[in-house]
Amino acid sequence: MSVPLTFLGLLERHPSHGYDLKRDYDAFFARGKPLPFGQVYSTLSRLSRDGKVVISDVEPGDGPDRKRYVITDLGATEVEQWLTQPVEPEPHLQSVLFTKVVLALMLDRPADEYLDTQRRAHVQRMRELTTVKRAGGLIDALLADHGLYHLEADLRWIEMTGARLDALKKAVRP
């Protein structure tokens, strides 16, 4: 997740204070991992330094002055480019799951036990995401579906790999 680009996108909707950006980010994108305020303001500082946002006005607040940030043409161009570029499709041909299985086989350790442990962890996470999907609104459901589909693909891979462990062991051990 690119916090700076997400902030720029939120600012393209309308000028905002740092507090408002954090609130919107946490509401739509954080999902259990809220941004620390320090990250919000350090990100805004870098965006300002790089000419992607400017401060439109400063209002007195209970603590520090409240600065309203506005996206610049440079920032809007960066958001446009980011939104139109596809995300690199996954999976990459190098995955931690694959690496652990191959190393377990190379080291004559029980790869099948690793796969069983991983399967249990995936099923548990699927249960958690299903609960989120049922209890939440549309945004939570769509994010949960995304995670569930990836976990289902991993589970299929775990099953297929488990069925091929003997052949894989012969391929990776001289």
- DSSP string covering 39-68: HHHHHHHHHHHTTSEEEEEEE--SSSPEEE
CATH of 3-84, one of 1.10.10.10, 1.10.1370.30, 3.30.1490.20, 3.40.50.2300: 1.10.10.10
Q: Hey, how many other C-beta atoms are within 10 angstroms of the C-beta on 101?
A: 25
Q: What is the pLDDT along the chain (174 residues), one digit of tens a residue?
A: 689 999 999 999 999 999 999 999 988 888 778 999 999 999 999 999 999 999 998 887 676 778 999 999 999 999 999 988 877 766 665 577 888 899 888 888 899 999 999 999 999 999 999 999 999 899 999 999 999 999 999 999 999 999 999 999 999 887
- DSSP string covering 109-169: --HHHHHHHHHHHHHHHHHHHHHHHHHS-HHHHHHHHHHHHHHHHHHHHHHHHHHTHHHHH
- Cα 89 to chain centroid distance, Å, stands at 14
- The per-residue pLDDT for 33 is 86
d(CA 143, CA 129): 9
Give yes or no for a contact between 59 and 68, defined as CB atoms under 8 angstroms apart.
Answer: yes
- The per-residue pLDDT for 148 is 96
Whether this prediction's pTM lies above 0.75 is answered by: no
